[in-house]
Structure 1
Amino acid sequence: MSTSEGAAVPRWVSGADRAAVPSPAPPPPRVHVEHAGFLSWALLDRGTGRISGSANLAAPSDTMSMVKAWIAADYLRMAADGEISEARLRQLTIMIRDSDNAAAEALFEAVGRRASIERLIASCGLTESSAYGEWWSKTTISARDTVRLGACIADGRAAGPRWTDWLLDQMRQVRGAGDFGVRLTLPDPGRVAIKNGWLLRDEDKLWHISCLAITGEWVLGVLVRYPGTLGFDYGTALCEEVGRQAVAAV
């Protein structure tokens, strides 16, 4: 089941008015994936700004390491008028490529912790997201806000004009455990910038997984939570399959 944002296009118009009516938007992608637990997804068409997704695309979940893409962007934008040390660039690089938590803690401190998440919400126009104390990993987000975050990174609002291409390039070089999601199903995975989050939480014994993928044509967000007994690979496979179906019509 899917939903979408955007104005409806009249089905019938007179011959005189037909030329003035824009072409109908393509139907939203249809996605059907059997799953246990919670699953939400959204797809943003970067050409039109249209967002399609699951019926629960506004439902909240948490970011885990996905929010590291914002932490990096926030730091880079604020440092745009000055030089960034080699040590900081290395922290930024390993935080994105390797999802290094120590680097994330240092950079989150540098950008003001909770204040950075509040800037994320304001700068990227998020409507279903909130900070969680001083924890970056427990930032609340929806699938719809995930694609808004991705668009905010892609169009330069997040990191600024000087550093946006650099950040997207780091996101294309994610490696190790964090390299999963829709790009593994595509013929040219190297063009897809990603940042994923994953954690088996002690509080509820559920795997929490978040997937963000950005290309020149679209931004995809997938959020899942499911019983810990199913394992990590169960969730990465959900992100891959949802993404494969969602972007197939783009």
Structure 2
Amino acid sequence: MVAVGALIVVVPAARTRLAGAGRVLGISPAVTGNARIAMQAPPPPPTLLAGPVTAPADLSLFGWALLDLRTGTMSGSANRETVLNTTESMVKVWLAADYLRRLGSQRPTQQTLSEIALMIEDSNDLMADKYYNLDGGPAAIQRLSTVCKLTHTVPGQSWSYTRMTPADAARYGRCVEDSTAAGPTWTGWLLDTMRHVRGTVQDQTSETRQGGRWGIIDGLPASMVPATAIKNGWTYIYADARWHIDCLAIQRDWVLTVEMQFAGSQTSAGLQRGADVCASVARQLVYAPAV
């Protein structure tokens, strides 16, 4: 027998002894001439699986939730159904989805699609204000709870002050992924737009351009990144002198959400700290099957 890479080449004299080993390994040998070649199937791609997660002890608020879209199983921190954080820009995906779904058979103009794309990709606040009002203001957030079957989501004085638990944020992500939020016509477009969120924590240049490509996506293996849709939310709120940060990531098989609050620098250094926590949670949950 000669082993070459992933191939096992068996000469005829040893054929009977190793054929049984192939069955134990779950391999179906392929016959080529006088040699029998067995190919082992490649391992499945990496994914996220529930497991223990640690976070800095000095966070004022911290919670996370992982929803397995294959089984419907929700896991996460013990407070995932109870702790509330303001959503900030994470809710902008809903403002887009609600508007597009309610159009029905009417097609949005190219200007509308461009504005919605800016709201997601650049986290444009002016566009969020516009579509929040077009969606009916607080009524849009009430529809979010009804349409997506959320149990602990509370409207606020504006879209950014919507409060949501990590578990509800994961259900919200599922609602986007399964076409309930935007409807079948626009879900693919919306998820693809979320895959093109751009800008780092340094890119907080104005209310029309704010960098949001950081967090969970930085904790994922490179092979998972292109198919991952994200939308983060972040604001330093002077009323309580804390950063309020939310991270949302959607894949075909799972949704991961992380929420936190903490006191600290009002600069990008403070935002980077929150981004690092989100990345750390994702990194701790990555499961890469052994080769």
TM-score tier (shorter): 0.7 to 0.9
Would you say the 8 A contact 1:29–1:247 is kept in 2? Answer: no
Asked if 1:216 corresponds to 2:252, the answer is yes
Q: Deviations over 1:162-198 (max 9, x none)?
A: 0000000000000012001222222131210000001
Q: CA deviation at 1:35?
A: 3.8
Per the TM alignment, residue 216 of structure 1 is displaced from its structure 2 partner at its CA by 0.6
Q: How far apart are 1:232 and its partner, in Å?
A: 1.1
Matched, 1:194 2:218: no
2:144 corresponds to which of 100, 120, 141: 120
Give the number of equivalent residue pairs. Answer: 224
**Kept in 2: contact 1:129–1:140 (CA 8 A):** yes
Distance in 2 between residues matched to 1:51 and 1:72, nearest whole Å: 26
TM-score (norm 1): 0.86
User: Which whole-Å deviations, capped at 9, do the CAs of 1:186-235 have from their partners, x for residues lacking one?
Assistant: 21312100000010001101000000000011100000100033711110
Report what 2:65 is aligned to: 42
Q: Which amino acid aligns with 2:277?
A: L
Cα distance in 1 for partners of 2:256, 2:288 equals 13
CA pair 172-91 structure 1, distance change in 2 beyond 3 A = same
CA contact (8 A) 2:232 2:245 kept: yes
Give the letter for the 2:214 counterpart.
Answer: F
| Bigger Rg over Cα | 2
CA distance in 2, matches of 1:248, 1:122: 34
Shift in Å, 1:246: 2.4
Offset of residue 55 of structure 1: 0.8
Tell me, yes or no, if the aligned pair for 2:69 and 2:255 is still in contact at 8 Å.
Answer: yes
Q: Secondary structure at the match of 1:102?
A: helix
Cα displacement string for residues 21-59 of structure 1 (whole angstroms, at most 9, x for unaligned residues) = xxxxxx831111224221100000000010000011121
Does the aligned pair in 2 maintain the 1:192–1:214 contact within 8 Å? yes
Identify the range of structure 1 (40-49 vs 179-188) with the bigger mean alpha-carbon deviation.
Answer: 179-188
Distance 1:228 1:137 in 2: 21
**Does 2:86 match 1:52?**
no
Deviation at 1:249, TM superposition (A): 7.0
- Corresponding residue for residue 183 of structure 1: 217
Contact 1:64 1:137 in 2 (8 A): yes
Question: Which of 88, 92, 96 is matched with 1:64 structurally?
Answer: 88
1:142 maps to which residue? 165
Contact 1:31 1:245 in 2 (8 A): yes
- Percent sequence identity over aligned pairs: 41
Task: Describe the SS at the equivalent of 1:137.
Answer: helix
Three-state SS of the structure 2 residue aligned to 1:83 is coil
1:171 counterpart residue number: 194
**Alpha-carbon separation, structure 2, partners of 1:242 and 1:36:** 16
Q: Is 1:157 aligned to 2:196, yes or no?
A: no
Cα distance in 1 for residues equivalent to 2:252 and 2:214: 19
1:204 is matched with 240
| Alignment partners' CA distance in 2, 1:28 and 1:41 | 11
* Structure 1: runs of 5 or more not aligned: 1-26
Equivalent-residue separation in structure 2 for 1:197 and 1:248 (angstroms) = 26
* Equivalent residue for 1:129, pick from 132, 149, 153: 153
The separation in 1 between residues aligned to 2:217 and 2:92, in whole angstroms, is 19
- Partners of 1:85 and 1:213 in 2: CA distance: 28
Structure 2: tracts of 5 or more residues without a match: 1-48, 200-210
> Which whole-Å deviations, capped at 9, do the CAs of 1:53-79 have from their partners, x for residues lacking one?
001112111100000011000011011
Once superposed, what is the RMSD of the aligned Cα atoms?
Answer: 1.6
